[in-house]
């Protein structure tokens, strides 16, 4: 009799626990911190790796095969446009020019004398024409000799900084032999690839932020100066060119540059990346409902940077997203919201 009474009491207790236990009311409240979703200024970024190039860059080479008479520069020297860099031996060409000029002067005198006589009908017009033709041919020979002389004086085609000197005085060089490199280091380009899917977002004038290993922690300002006309069929990327103001001289041609392309700011819903949950292909956050319980909400994320993520779908302004305390959180669980730690 006592055994039967005990069984009834235990059964009643179990039923009471089943009606009022954790499963019915969602268990004990979870302690969480929340952040309220509000629109804020958001600027998307494109990351890329680029290479610095001089806006103007040439290899100074000999036009003629000749011995070097004089070298007028040193390695690393800054030069101006038109400055003489190298003089090749020009003794023979100077003699040819002097001979051609003397012949030209003589024919000029003959033309002047015959023109005077022909004006008085003392010589035939054909005789004057013959001497004038000879004068014109002599003038062409003198100009050709002058050009050959000019080719033996090598000048800087633009202002810039020279590289390492590759030649010495007295050395014999062949036509096309490299003497030195010349680069304009005040104005540089940075060329970097961007996926073709982002082509509609590109336009000239967009702001760039550059980082170089030679200047750690320093952002170098630049702007998009041009966009290539073709997409590379192998990489499906298009080359973009940025203009760098290198007045500080921190960048050299050939340097690797980390490029951040800053797009125009827009108003967007942004949440801390810490709040975003990922299970398989599902991306979601927990939202604190009006009744004080947790609700998982599927979202679609756009770009991310600086520890924040842009929310394209799934949330609206004013939603309270759970930031901390999501490790064991489940739908319908009661929430105890506490202030976030500083």
In the numeric block, which tokens belong to residue 136? 């014109």
Look-up: residue for tokens 């952040």?
Answer: 35
For residues 22 and 17, give the distance between their C-alpha atoms in angstroms, rounded to a whole number. 9
How many alpha carbons lie under 13 Å from residue 246 in its C-beta half-sphere?
Answer: 27
For residues 326 and 296, give the distance between their C-alpha atoms in angstroms, rounded to a whole number. 10
Give how far Cα 120 sits from Cα of 114, 116, 123, Å. 10, 7, 8
Which domains occur in the chain, in start order?
26-41+267-337 (2.40.420.20), 47-56+184-265 (2.40.30.170), 90-151 (1.10.287.470)
Degrees, nearest 5: CA angle 52-54-58: 135
For residues 203 and 221, give the distance between their C-alpha atoms in angstroms, rounded to a whole number. 17
Contact in structure between 157 and 58 (CB atoms under 8 Å): yes
pLDDT at 80 over 90: yes
Helix 125-151 vs helix 91-119: angle between axes, to the nearest 10 degrees? 160
Does the predicted model carry a pTM greater than 0.75? no
For residues 217 and 214, give the distance between their C-alpha atoms in angstroms, rounded to a whole number. 10
Lowest mean pLDDT among 9-13, 32-36, 216-220, 259-263: 9-13
pLDDT at 29: 84
* Other CB atoms within 10 A of residue 160 CB: 24
- Predicted confidence band of residue 6 (pLDDT cuts 50, 70, 90): very low
For residues 6 and 238, give the distance between their C-alpha atoms in angstroms, rounded to a whole number. 82
* Other CB atoms within 10 A of residue 139 CB: 16
pLDDT at 208 over 80: yes
Nearest to 60 by CA among 155, 179, 152: 179
Model confidence pLDDT, tens digit, residues 111-162: 888 788 777 777 777 777 787 888 888 888 888 877 777 788 899 999 999 9
pLDDT at 292: 85
Nearest to 328 by CA among 29, 36, 35: 29
- Predicted confidence band of residue 27 (pLDDT cuts 50, 70, 90): low
- Predicted confidence band of residue 307 (pLDDT cuts 50, 70, 90): confident
pLDDT at 40 over 90: no
For residues 50 and 191, give the distance between their C-alpha atoms in angstroms, rounded to a whole number. 5
């Amino acid at each position: 009799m006592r055994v039967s009474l005990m069984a009834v009491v235990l059964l009643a207790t179990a039923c009471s626990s089943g009606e009022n236990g954790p499963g019915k009311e969602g268990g004990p409240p979870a302690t969480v911190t929340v952040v309220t979703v509000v629109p804020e200024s958001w600027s998307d970024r494109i990351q890329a790796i680029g290479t610095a190039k001089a806006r103007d860059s040439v290899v100074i080479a000999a036009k003629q095969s000749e011995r070097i008479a004089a070298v007028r520069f040193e390695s690393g020297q800054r030069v101006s446009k038109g400055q003489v860099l190298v003089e090749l031996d020009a003794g023979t060409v100077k003699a040819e020019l002097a001979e051609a000029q003397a012949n030209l002067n003589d024919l000029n005198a003959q033309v002047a004398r015959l023109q005077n006589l022909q004006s008085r009908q003392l010589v035939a017009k054909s005789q004057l024409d013959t001497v004038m033709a000879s004068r014109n041919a002599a003038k062409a020979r003198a100009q050709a000799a002058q050009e050959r002389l000019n080719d033996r004086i090598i000048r800087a085609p633009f202002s810039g900084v020279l590289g390492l000197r590759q030649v010495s005085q007295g050395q014999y060089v062949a036509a096309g032999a490299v003497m030195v490199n010349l680069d304009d280091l005040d104005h540089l380009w940075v060329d970097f690839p961007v996926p073709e899917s982002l082509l509609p977002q590109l336009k000239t004038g967009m702001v760039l932020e550059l980082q170089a290993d030679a200047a750690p922690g320093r952002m170098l300002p630049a702007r998009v100066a041009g966009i290539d006309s073709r997409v590379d069929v192998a990489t499906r990327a298009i080359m973009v060119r940025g203009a760098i103001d290198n007045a500080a001289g921190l960048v050299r041609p050939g340097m690797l540059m980390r490029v951040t392309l800053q797009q125009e700011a827009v108003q967007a819903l942004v949440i801390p990346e810490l709040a975003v949950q990922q299970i398989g292909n599902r991306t979601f956050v927990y939202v604190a409902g009006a009744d004080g319980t947790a609700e998982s909400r599927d979202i679609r994320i756009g770009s991310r940077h600086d520890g924040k993520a842009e929310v394209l779908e799934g949330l609206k302004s004013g939603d309270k997203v759970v930031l901390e305390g999501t490790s064991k959180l489940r739908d319908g669980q009661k929430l105890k919201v506490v202030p976030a730690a500083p």
